[in-house]
Amino acid sequence: MADLSIEEANKIRLSMGLAPLPVPGAAAPSGPAFKPAQAGDDSDEEAASTIESRQAAGFDNWKKLQDEAAAKKKREDRLVAIKKEREKAARFAKLEGQGLADAAEDEDDMAWLKSSKKRQKKIAKAEQMQKELEERERQAREAMQYTEADLAGVRVGHEVDQFEDGEDQVLVLKDTAVDAEEDDELEAVSLKERERLQEKLDSKKRKRAYDPNDDGQKSILAQYDEEIEGKKRNAFTLDGQGRTVEQVQAEATGAAQPKRVAISLDILQEDTPVNDYMDISEVKMKKPKKKKSKSSKRRRIEDDEDMVAVPDEPTEEMEVDESETKLVPKKAKKNLFDESFVDDDDLQAQLAAQRRQALKKRKMRPEDLARQLREEATSAPQTPGEVVDTTEIAEEDAGALIIDETTEFVHNLGANAGDEAEEARRRQRRKSSQIPKDVDSPAVDVDDEGDIDMAQSYAEVAEAEDRERSASRAKSAEITGTGLDDEKLVSGGIGATLALLKQRGLVANTEGPDKNSLWRSREKFLADKLRAEEEVERERREDRERQRNSARWAAMSARDREENNRQANAKSEKDVARKLADIYNKEYKPTFQLTHTDEHGRQLNEKEAFKLLSHQFHGKGSGNTKTKKHLDKIEQEKRKIAENSLDTRAGGLSNAQDQQAKKNKFAGVRLQ
């Protein structure tokens, strides 16, 4: 199945009518079969000129290549196999040489013993040889080594003290020029690097020529010495024994060693601070002596004297005159009082005289004055209860006039400042009338506000009126609890109602008077017109009556009558129309009011109406927030109106009053 052999292929091809495949090795066919085969000449001299021949040749070449490769591979395989075989064989090859058993010849023991020495010698020799070999090797190795001695006389390009102790330093030959004649110099790489780095950093620093800290021992322009003369190099030379040549030289010359000065270290201990306090032993304490002052002595003496004096007096005088002693303290007191008052007699005399003159001028006796004062004190409170009280007081204590803080305060409260004159008048009148009447009349008047007793005299009437007015005023001027004016009551009339509504914000302030007058004029006009029309109607009816009764009417035929009527009607119509037109032109002043109403039923002002129209025209209203705000505002208005109409709060401010208070321009409330 895998391979179709050429014969079979050819068989298939021939059955199909195709040219058979060229068998490899055979000559390439020279074109289609029907061409006559020409010997030699026609066959191309080139190896393969047609595709088939070329292909055949190619096939041959390929085959050749493959064969060669295969052969090569085979050869190699064979070689490898041979080698393997050989090694294998070699593994099992017999070892050459004598085996232990083979080498041993049959010897007897004596011979063996004799040969033992020889053997030993041999062994020794072998050992020696071994040793010598080793020796030789060692020597050779050593000879190769490079020891310290080799370094004798070699320079090292650093300071001795630059090397740290305890470390192995690897020194390298310094780089020199090829033609340098100097000896080799060693240097440590790390130290060299450090030096170079230091130089670099120093060169980067800007070094001044003048160093203030340095002494003036350097020559002038010392900074250029390095450039001129070359860098100074420190070097020391090694000798083979591990020391420097310089050191040896120094020792040899016996250079002066620095003197050793003995310094006592006691100096350091001298700096202890001195104690600020004295020693306890040094302190001397002295006991202070007690000194007696003179003053204390003196006082004692004085007291003694007093004590002696005082008890003496009473013992002396009491026996003699008791009354005198009692008077003495009293006199002393009175003396004090007298001193303060009866100081300036002249002044007092003058004051008394002045007082007398003033009293005389007044033409009133002191008793009257006292009564007047008393009545003033009691006249201030006008309510009946208090009047009763004061009258009681007046009856009880006719003689005394009580003036104290309360009465003064009450007097000063005085309801109306402007009514001083009236009050005075009233006082005069009351004085003239008797006291019991005083008690009755206020009670009567207060009870019957409207009715005045006709039996009273004119003066009394006037008095009563005054009192009434004052009472009403007092009532009106009553101090409200909140400090604002009370709301007007509906019972106060239309005006009060309107004011109340305005205050509560339920009625907006409109231009009332103008509108009212206009409306009235229009109504009047209409009424006049109606009246005129009625007049005209009446006249016409009367005319018709007269006509009917007149003679001419009877003479006229029915048609004539109709004609006449028609004409008359027409004429009257014309007249009426003309008159109406005249009246209209003269008197009719139309006012028109454009009101816009929105969906909530509110009246819109100009701006709002325009907004509404605009929204309708453009078909687009406001956005969400704006409409929400608008609706909220409307709701708030409605709520406010509703609340206002129902708001009654007994104590404190109602909602409306609160708003009113807020609308005031000034802060605070007005107290009476």
Measured from the CB atom, the residue of 48 and 580 that comes closer to other proteins is 48
* DSSP code for 623: -
The 60-89 contact track toward other proteins, x by CB under 8 A, reads: --x---------------------------
Q: Is 163 exposed, middle or buried (0-12, 13-18, 19+ CB in 10 A)?
A: middle
Instruction: Give CA–CA dist 525/590, Å, rounded.
Output: 11
Measured from the CB atom, the residue of 56 and 238 that comes closer to other proteins is 56
CA distances from residue 117 to 202, 351, 392 in whole angstroms, order as listed: 82, 181, 180
Nearest to 482 by CA among 634, 308, 657, 602: 657
414 binds other proteins (CB under 8 A): no
* Residue 185: partners with Cβ closer than 8 Å, 6 or more residues away: 154, 155, 156, 157, 173, 174, 176, 235
Q: Give ∠ CA 351-356-357 in degrees, rounded to 5.
A: 100
Q: Give ∠ CA 23-26-30 in degrees, rounded to 5.
A: 95
Find tokens 């409109």 and name the residue.
510
What's the closest the beta carbon of residue 22 comes to other proteins, in angstroms?
Answer: 6
The 307-346 contact track toward other proteins, x by CB under 8 A, reads: ----------------------------------------
Instruction: Give CA–CA dist 561/552, Å, rounded.
Output: 10
Among 27, 37, 47, 58, binds other proteins (CB under 8 A): 58
Instruction: Give CA–CA dist 440/455, Å, rounded.
Output: 14
Extract the tokens encoding 619. 């078909």
The 11-50 contact track toward other proteins, x by CB under 8 A, reads: -xx--x-xx-xx-x--------------------------
With contacts defined by CB under 8 A, how many residues of the chain interact with other proteins? 22
Among the residue ranges 6-14, 401-409, 420-428, 658-666, the one whose residues contact other proteins (CB under 8 A): 6-14
Measured from the CB atom, the residue of 69 and 459 that comes closer to other proteins is 69
What's the closest the beta carbon of residue 95 comes to other proteins, in angstroms?
Answer: 55
Measured from the CB atom, the residue of 48 and 506 that comes closer to other proteins is 48
Measured from the CB atom, the residue of 32 and 512 that comes closer to other proteins is 32
Across the strands, what pairs with 596? 604
Q: Yes or no: say if 236 and 242 are a contact pair by the CB < 8 Å rule.
A: no
Measured from the CB atom, the residue of 21 and 568 that comes closer to other proteins is 21
Measured from the CB atom, the residue of 19 and 307 that comes closer to other proteins is 19
Among the residue ranges 51-59, 145-153, 182-190, 486-494, the one whose residues contact other proteins (CB under 8 A): 51-59
499 binds other proteins (CB under 8 A): no
CA distances from residue 456 to 232, 431, 437, 452, 460 in whole angstroms, order as listed: 149, 17, 11, 8, 6
If phi > 0 it is left, if psi is from -120 to 50 it is alpha, else beta; for residue 148 that is alpha
What's the closest the beta carbon of residue 64 comes to other proteins, in angstroms?
Answer: 14
3 binds other proteins (CB under 8 A): yes
473-479: long-range contacts, CB 8 A cutoff, minimum separation 24:
473/415, 473/416, 474/382, 474/415, 474/416, 477/415, 477/416, 477/672, 479/671, 479/672
Measured from the CB atom, the residue of 33 and 646 that comes closer to other proteins is 33
* E strands in 555-621: 596-597, 603-604
* Residue 670: partners with Cβ closer than 8 Å, 6 or more residues away: 483
Measured from the CB atom, the residue of 3 and 142 that comes closer to other proteins is 3
What's the closest the beta carbon of residue 45 comes to other proteins, in angstroms?
Answer: 23
Among 35, 47, 59, 207, binds other proteins (CB under 8 A): 59
Instruction: Give CA–CA dist 640/647, Å, rounded.
Output: 10
What's the closest the beta carbon of residue 35 comes to other proteins, in angstroms?
Answer: 16
Instruction: Give CA–CA dist 573/540, Å, rounded.
Output: 11
What's the closest the beta carbon of residue 40 comes to other proteins, in angstroms?
Answer: 24
Instruction: Give CA–CA dist 63/548, Å, rounded.
Output: 162
Instruction: Give CA–CA dist 484/299, Å, rounded.
Output: 78
What's the closest the beta carbon of residue 3 comes to other proteins, in angstroms?
Answer: 5
Extract the tokens encoding 379. 């006249």
What's the closest the beta carbon of residue 12 comes to other proteins, in angstroms?
Answer: 5
What's the closest the beta carbon of residue 67 comes to other proteins, in angstroms?
Answer: 15
Q: Is 634 exposed, middle or buried (0-12, 13-18, 19+ CB in 10 A)?
A: middle
Q: Please, what's the largest Cα pairwise distance for the chain?
A: 225
Measured from the CB atom, the residue of 13 and 596 that comes closer to other proteins is 13
What's the closest the beta carbon of residue 77 comes to other proteins, in angstroms?
Answer: 25
Measured from the CB atom, the residue of 2 and 551 that comes closer to other proteins is 2
Among 14, 45, 47, 51, binds other proteins (CB under 8 A): 51
CA distances from residue 9 to 51, 60, 584 in whole angstroms, order as listed: 19, 18, 135
What's the closest the beta carbon of residue 68 comes to other proteins, in angstroms?
Answer: 17
Nearest to 459 by CA among 429, 436, 423, 431: 429
What's the closest the beta carbon of residue 51 comes to other proteins, in angstroms?
Answer: 6
609 binds other proteins (CB under 8 A): no
H or E element at residue 186: strand 185-188
Measured from the CB atom, the residue of 55 and 480 that comes closer to other proteins is 55
614 binds other proteins (CB under 8 A): no
What's the closest the beta carbon of residue 39 comes to other proteins, in angstroms?
Answer: 24
Among 2, 140, 285, 332, binds other proteins (CB under 8 A): 2
Measured from the CB atom, the residue of 20 and 384 that comes closer to other proteins is 20
Measured from the CB atom, the residue of 64 and 300 that comes closer to other proteins is 64
What's the closest the beta carbon of residue 33 comes to other proteins, in angstroms?
Answer: 14
Among 56, 377, 387, 653, binds other proteins (CB under 8 A): 56
Instruction: Give CA–CA dist 123/557, Å, rounded.
Output: 205
What's the closest the beta carbon of residue 65 comes to other proteins, in angstroms?
Answer: 12
Which SS3 state, helix, strand or coil, does residue 124 take? helix
What's the closest the beta carbon of residue 32 comes to other proteins, in angstroms?
Answer: 12
Among 14, 27, 55, 591, binds other proteins (CB under 8 A): 55
Measured from the CB atom, the residue of 66 and 325 that comes closer to other proteins is 66
Can you give the binding site for other proteins, defined by CB under 8 A? 1-6, 9, 12-13, 16, 18-19, 21-22, 24, 51-52, 55-56, 58-59, 62
